[in-house]
Chains A and B, each alone.
Chain A
Protein backbone atom coordinates (compact mmCIF):
# COMPACT_ATOMS: atom_id res chain seq x y z
CA UNK A 1 0.00 0.00 0.00
CA UNK A 2 1.02 3.62 -0.54
CA UNK A 3 1.66 5.87 2.45
CA UNK A 4 2.46 9.57 2.35
CA UNK A 5 4.27 11.36 5.13
CA UNK A 6 3.11 14.94 4.66
CA UNK A 7 5.90 17.33 3.64
CA UNK A 8 8.16 14.33 2.95
CA UNK A 9 6.67 12.22 0.18
CA UNK A 10 5.28 8.78 -0.61
CA UNK A 11 6.42 5.31 0.41
CA UNK A 12 5.27 1.85 -0.61
CA UNK A 13 4.85 -0.43 2.42
CA UNK A 14 3.84 -4.02 3.08
CA UNK A 15 0.27 -4.28 4.31
CA UNK A 16 1.57 -6.21 7.33
CA UNK A 17 3.30 -3.05 8.60
CA UNK A 18 -0.05 -1.36 8.83
CA UNK A 19 -1.00 -3.27 12.00
CA UNK A 20 2.06 -1.84 13.71
CA UNK A 21 1.17 1.64 12.49
CA UNK A 22 -2.36 1.24 13.78
CA UNK A 23 -1.13 0.26 17.23
CA UNK A 24 1.05 3.37 17.32
CA UNK A 25 -1.85 5.43 16.04
CA UNK A 26 -4.06 4.29 18.93
CA UNK A 27 -1.33 5.18 21.41
CA UNK A 28 -1.02 8.63 19.77
CA UNK A 29 -4.74 9.25 20.21
CA UNK A 30 -4.39 8.43 23.91
CA UNK A 31 -1.37 10.72 24.27
CA UNK A 32 -3.27 13.59 22.61
CA UNK A 33 -6.29 12.98 24.84
CA UNK A 34 -4.05 12.96 27.92
CA UNK A 35 -2.24 16.09 26.74
CA UNK A 36 1.07 14.24 27.09
CA UNK A 37 3.24 16.20 24.67
CA UNK A 38 6.46 14.30 25.28
CA UNK A 39 4.79 10.97 24.60
CA UNK A 40 2.99 12.37 21.56
CA UNK A 41 6.28 13.51 20.02
CA UNK A 42 8.00 10.20 20.70
CA UNK A 43 5.14 8.14 19.26
CA UNK A 44 4.74 10.30 16.16
CA UNK A 45 8.48 10.08 15.49
CA UNK A 46 8.27 6.30 15.91
CA UNK A 47 5.26 6.07 13.58
CA UNK A 48 7.00 8.01 10.81
CA UNK A 49 10.26 6.17 11.37
CA UNK A 50 8.56 2.81 10.85
CA UNK A 51 7.42 4.01 7.43
CA UNK A 52 10.80 5.47 6.49
CA UNK A 53 12.65 2.36 7.65
CA UNK A 54 10.41 -0.28 6.11
CA UNK A 55 8.96 1.61 3.15
CA UNK A 56 10.40 2.11 -0.31
CA UNK A 57 10.15 5.68 -1.68
CA UNK A 58 7.76 5.95 -4.62
CA UNK A 59 9.55 6.92 -7.83
CA UNK A 60 8.87 10.45 -9.18
CA UNK A 61 7.45 9.13 -12.46
CA UNK A 62 4.73 7.20 -10.67
CA UNK A 63 1.47 9.06 -10.15
CA UNK A 64 -0.36 7.16 -7.45
CA UNK A 65 -2.88 8.21 -4.88
CA UNK A 66 -1.91 7.45 -1.29
CA UNK A 67 -3.99 4.95 0.66
CA UNK A 68 -2.97 6.52 3.90
CA UNK A 69 -1.66 9.99 4.79
CA UNK A 70 0.44 10.67 7.87
CA UNK A 71 0.94 14.07 9.51
CA UNK A 72 4.19 16.01 9.02
CA UNK A 73 7.09 15.24 11.39
CA UNK A 74 6.93 18.66 13.08
CA UNK A 75 3.21 18.35 13.97
CA UNK A 76 2.54 19.80 17.40
CA UNK A 77 0.15 18.21 19.88
CA UNK A 78 -1.98 21.31 19.48
CA UNK A 79 -2.27 20.73 15.73
CA UNK A 80 -3.11 17.07 16.34
CA UNK A 81 -5.84 18.14 18.75
CA UNK A 82 -7.21 20.56 16.12
CA UNK A 83 -7.39 17.67 13.68
CA UNK A 84 -9.72 15.84 16.06
CA UNK A 85 -11.84 18.91 16.54
CA UNK A 86 -12.16 19.54 12.82
CA UNK A 87 -9.69 22.21 11.74
CA UNK A 88 -6.82 20.38 10.18
CA UNK A 89 -3.32 21.15 9.07
CA UNK A 90 -4.14 21.96 5.48
CA UNK A 91 -5.53 25.46 5.16
CA UNK A 92 -8.12 26.55 2.60
Chain B
Protein backbone atom coordinates (compact mmCIF):
# COMPACT_ATOMS: atom_id res chain seq x y z
CA UNK B 1 0.00 0.00 0.00
CA UNK B 2 1.25 3.45 -0.89
CA UNK B 3 1.33 6.60 1.14
CA UNK B 4 -1.76 7.94 -0.63
CA UNK B 5 -3.97 4.97 0.23
CA UNK B 6 -2.63 4.85 3.80
CA UNK B 7 -3.38 8.52 4.30
CA UNK B 8 -6.84 8.21 2.75
CA UNK B 9 -7.79 5.18 4.82
CA UNK B 10 -6.43 6.78 7.92
CA UNK B 11 -8.47 9.95 7.63
CA UNK B 12 -11.62 8.06 6.61
CA UNK B 13 -11.42 5.78 9.63
CA UNK B 14 -11.07 8.76 11.96
CA UNK B 15 -13.99 10.48 10.27
CA UNK B 16 -16.31 7.48 10.38
CA UNK B 17 -15.74 7.33 14.13
CA UNK B 18 -16.67 10.99 14.42
CA UNK B 19 -19.83 10.51 12.38
CA UNK B 20 -20.99 7.47 14.36
CA UNK B 21 -22.50 9.74 16.97
CA UNK B 22 -25.23 10.91 14.62
CA UNK B 23 -28.78 10.61 16.03
CA UNK B 24 -31.55 12.99 15.01
CA UNK B 25 -30.30 14.27 11.65
CA UNK B 26 -31.60 17.79 12.24
CA UNK B 27 -29.78 18.00 15.55
CA UNK B 28 -26.72 16.73 13.78
CA UNK B 29 -26.83 19.71 11.46
CA UNK B 30 -27.03 22.18 14.32
CA UNK B 31 -24.39 20.35 16.30
CA UNK B 32 -22.05 20.26 13.32
CA UNK B 33 -22.59 23.98 12.84
CA UNK B 34 -21.76 24.75 16.48
CA UNK B 35 -18.61 22.70 16.19
CA UNK B 36 -17.63 24.66 13.09
CA UNK B 37 -18.03 27.96 14.90
CA UNK B 38 -15.91 26.65 17.77
CA UNK B 39 -13.20 25.49 15.40
CA UNK B 40 -13.26 28.86 13.66
CA UNK B 41 -12.67 30.51 17.05
CA UNK B 42 -9.81 28.11 17.77
CA UNK B 43 -8.17 28.88 14.45
CA UNK B 44 -8.44 32.60 15.16
CA UNK B 45 -6.84 32.13 18.56
CA UNK B 46 -4.15 30.05 16.86
CA UNK B 47 -3.38 32.93 14.52
CA UNK B 48 -3.05 35.27 17.50
CA UNK B 49 -0.69 32.81 19.23
CA UNK B 50 1.54 32.45 16.21
CA UNK B 51 1.62 36.23 15.71
CA UNK B 52 2.50 36.80 19.37
CA UNK B 53 5.33 34.28 19.20
CA UNK B 54 6.66 35.84 16.03
CA UNK B 55 6.66 39.31 17.63
CA UNK B 56 8.52 37.94 20.61
CA UNK B 57 11.23 36.49 18.39
CA UNK B 58 11.45 39.76 16.48
CA UNK B 59 11.91 41.62 19.74
CA UNK B 60 14.71 39.26 20.75
CA UNK B 61 16.31 39.72 17.40
CA UNK B 62 16.22 43.49 17.84
CA UNK B 63 17.80 43.20 21.30
CA UNK B 64 20.58 40.99 20.01
CA UNK B 65 21.14 43.35 17.10
CA UNK B 66 21.49 46.26 19.54
CA UNK B 67 23.97 44.35 21.65
CA UNK B 68 26.35 43.87 18.71
CA UNK B 69 27.57 47.47 18.72
CA UNK B 70 27.97 47.42 22.47
CA UNK B 71 30.12 44.30 22.33
CA UNK B 72 32.34 45.78 19.63
CA UNK B 73 32.80 48.85 21.79
CA UNK B 74 33.67 46.68 24.79
CA UNK B 75 36.26 44.84 22.74
CA UNK B 76 37.79 48.12 21.57
CA UNK B 77 38.00 49.46 25.11
CA UNK B 78 39.49 46.22 26.38
CA UNK B 79 42.10 46.25 23.66
CA UNK B 80 43.01 49.89 24.37
CA UNK B 81 43.54 48.91 27.97
CA UNK B 82 45.78 46.06 26.89
CA UNK B 83 43.28 43.38 27.93
CA UNK B 84 43.25 41.11 24.93
CA UNK B 85 41.57 38.36 26.95
CA UNK B 86 38.56 40.58 27.65
CA UNK B 87 38.46 41.76 24.04
CA UNK B 88 38.37 38.16 22.90
CA UNK B 89 35.52 37.36 25.27
CA UNK B 90 33.46 40.32 24.04
CA UNK B 91 34.08 39.36 20.41
CA UNK B 92 33.22 35.74 21.04
CA UNK B 93 29.93 36.82 22.52
CA UNK B 94 29.34 39.06 19.55
CA UNK B 95 29.97 36.23 17.08
CA UNK B 96 27.59 33.99 19.00
CA UNK B 97 24.96 36.72 19.03
CA UNK B 98 25.34 37.00 15.26
CA UNK B 99 24.73 33.28 14.88
CA UNK B 100 21.69 33.60 17.10
CA UNK B 101 20.35 36.37 14.90
CA UNK B 102 20.68 34.16 11.82
CA UNK B 103 18.93 31.37 13.72
CA UNK B 104 16.13 33.70 14.81
CA UNK B 105 15.67 34.87 11.22
CA UNK B 106 14.97 31.29 10.18
CA UNK B 107 12.52 30.80 13.04
CA UNK B 108 10.72 34.04 12.30
CA UNK B 109 10.35 32.87 8.72
CA UNK B 110 8.87 29.55 9.87
CA UNK B 111 6.29 31.37 11.98
CA UNK B 112 5.45 33.70 9.13
CA UNK B 113 4.72 30.66 6.99
CA UNK B 114 2.59 29.08 9.71
CA UNK B 115 0.69 32.32 10.15
CA UNK B 116 -0.03 32.54 6.42
CA UNK B 117 -1.17 28.91 6.40
CA UNK B 118 -3.56 29.45 9.31
CA UNK B 119 -4.93 32.63 7.79
CA UNK B 120 -5.69 30.66 4.64
CA UNK B 121 -7.28 27.86 6.64
CA UNK B 122 -9.40 30.43 8.49
CA UNK B 123 -10.59 31.94 5.22
CA UNK B 124 -11.38 28.54 3.78
CA UNK B 125 -13.29 27.41 6.86
CA UNK B 126 -15.14 30.71 7.18
CA UNK B 127 -16.45 30.42 3.60
CA UNK B 128 -17.36 26.79 4.20
CA UNK B 129 -19.18 27.53 7.47
CA UNK B 130 -21.16 30.30 5.83
CA UNK B 131 -22.17 27.96 3.00
CA UNK B 132 -23.04 25.26 5.51
CA UNK B 133 -25.30 27.60 7.46
CA UNK B 134 -27.32 28.33 4.31
CA UNK B 135 -27.39 24.68 3.29
CA UNK B 136 -28.48 23.64 6.78
CA UNK B 137 -31.54 25.90 6.72
CA UNK B 138 -32.50 24.72 3.24
CA UNK B 139 -32.27 21.07 4.27
CA UNK B 140 -34.20 21.65 7.48
CA UNK B 141 -36.99 23.37 5.59
CA UNK B 142 -37.42 20.35 3.33
CA UNK B 143 -36.87 17.80 6.03
CA UNK B 144 -40.00 15.84 5.21
CA UNK B 145 -38.68 15.12 1.75
CA UNK B 146 -37.03 11.75 1.38
CA UNK B 147 -33.88 13.17 -0.07
CA UNK B 148 -33.19 15.30 2.99
CA UNK B 149 -31.47 12.46 4.81
CA UNK B 150 -29.07 11.94 1.93
CA UNK B 151 -28.31 15.65 1.76
CA UNK B 152 -27.70 15.82 5.47
CA UNK B 153 -25.25 12.95 5.25
CA UNK B 154 -23.45 14.55 2.35
CA UNK B 155 -23.21 17.94 3.96
CA UNK B 156 -22.11 16.58 7.34
CA UNK B 157 -19.54 14.23 5.85
CA UNK B 158 -18.17 17.00 3.64
CA UNK B 159 -17.90 19.51 6.44
CA UNK B 160 -16.46 16.96 8.89
CA UNK B 161 -13.59 16.26 6.54
CA UNK B 162 -13.00 19.98 6.17
CA UNK B 163 -12.99 20.41 9.94
CA UNK B 164 -10.58 17.55 10.48
CA UNK B 165 -8.33 19.15 7.90
CA UNK B 166 -8.41 22.65 9.39
CA UNK B 167 -7.99 21.11 12.83
CA UNK B 168 -4.83 19.39 11.63
CA UNK B 169 -3.45 22.63 10.18
CA UNK B 170 -4.10 24.30 13.53
CA UNK B 171 -2.46 21.54 15.48
CA UNK B 172 0.69 21.53 13.34
CA UNK B 173 1.01 25.30 13.62
CA UNK B 174 0.63 25.05 17.40
CA UNK B 175 3.29 22.36 17.66
CA UNK B 176 5.79 24.44 15.73
CA UNK B 177 4.95 27.54 17.75
CA UNK B 178 5.40 25.69 21.03
CA UNK B 179 8.83 24.41 20.02
CA UNK B 180 9.93 27.90 19.08
CA UNK B 181 8.44 29.38 22.25
CA UNK B 182 10.49 27.04 24.40
CA UNK B 183 13.57 28.14 22.54
CA UNK B 184 12.61 31.80 22.81
CA UNK B 185 12.32 31.40 26.59
CA UNK B 186 15.82 29.96 26.70
CA UNK B 187 17.16 32.93 24.75
CA UNK B 188 15.31 35.35 27.04
CA UNK B 189 16.95 33.80 30.08
CA UNK B 190 20.35 33.94 28.50
CA UNK B 191 19.87 37.54 27.42
CA UNK B 192 18.99 38.45 30.99
CA UNK B 193 21.90 36.59 32.53
CA UNK B 194 24.30 37.73 29.81
CA UNK B 195 25.66 34.20 29.51
CA UNK B 196 25.48 34.18 25.74
CA UNK B 197 28.29 31.67 25.38
CA UNK B 198 25.99 28.81 26.36
CA UNK B 199 23.68 29.34 23.44
CA UNK B 200 25.47 27.33 20.80
CA UNK B 201 24.89 24.18 22.80
CA UNK B 202 21.14 24.36 23.16
CA UNK B 203 19.88 22.57 20.09
CA UNK B 204 22.54 21.63 17.60
CA UNK B 205 24.24 18.28 17.31
CA UNK B 206 27.95 17.85 18.03
CA UNK B 207 29.07 18.55 14.46
CA UNK B 208 26.96 21.68 14.15
CA UNK B 209 28.21 22.88 17.51
CA UNK B 210 31.85 22.37 16.56
CA UNK B 211 31.31 24.08 13.21
CA UNK B 212 29.66 26.99 15.01
CA UNK B 213 32.71 27.21 17.31
CA UNK B 214 35.11 27.26 14.39
CA UNK B 215 33.14 30.03 12.75
CA UNK B 216 33.07 31.95 16.05
CA UNK B 217 36.81 31.70 16.58
CA UNK B 218 37.72 32.71 13.02
CA UNK B 219 35.35 35.67 13.21
CA UNK B 220 36.91 36.63 16.57
CA UNK B 221 40.44 36.58 15.14
CA UNK B 222 39.42 38.66 12.13
CA UNK B 223 37.67 41.27 14.25
CA UNK B 224 40.50 41.40 16.72
CA UNK B 225 42.95 42.12 13.91
CA UNK B 226 40.66 44.82 12.50
CA UNK B 227 40.30 46.49 15.92
CA UNK B 228 44.06 46.43 16.46
CA UNK B 229 44.56 48.14 13.16
CA UNK B 230 41.97 50.81 14.05
CA UNK B 231 43.72 51.39 17.35
CA UNK B 232 47.10 51.57 15.63
CA UNK B 233 48.37 48.52 17.51
CA UNK B 234 50.63 46.08 15.74
CA UNK B 235 50.20 42.32 15.93
CA UNK B 236 50.79 41.82 19.64
CA UNK B 237 52.66 38.74 20.79
CA UNK B 238 50.16 36.06 21.65
CA UNK B 239 49.40 36.11 25.32
CA UNK B 240 49.27 32.83 27.15
CA UNK B 241 46.04 31.17 26.13
CA UNK B 242 43.41 30.76 28.80
CA UNK B 243 42.16 27.29 29.63
CA UNK B 244 39.82 25.90 26.98
CA UNK B 245 40.83 28.28 24.22
CA UNK B 246 41.30 26.70 20.79
Contacts and interface: CB of A to CB of B under 8 A. Distances in A.
A66 B9 CA distance: 11
Contacts of B3: 25, 28-29, 32, 71, 80, 83-84
A31 B69 CA distance: 48
Interface string B135-162: 1000000000000000000110111011
Contacts of A28: 2-3
Name the prevailing secondary structure of the B interface residues.
helix
B155 A63 contact: yes
Interface residues of A, number: 35
B7 A65 contact: no
B158 A83 contact: no
A5 to B, nearest CB: 9
A7 B154 contact: no
A81 to B, nearest CB: 10
Interface of B: 2-4, 6-8, 10-12, 14, 117, 120-121, 124, 127-128, 130-132, 134-135, 154-155, 157-159, 161-162, 164-166, 168-169, 171-172
Interface of A: 4, 6-10, 21-22, 25-26, 28-29, 32, 60-72, 74, 80, 83-84, 88-92
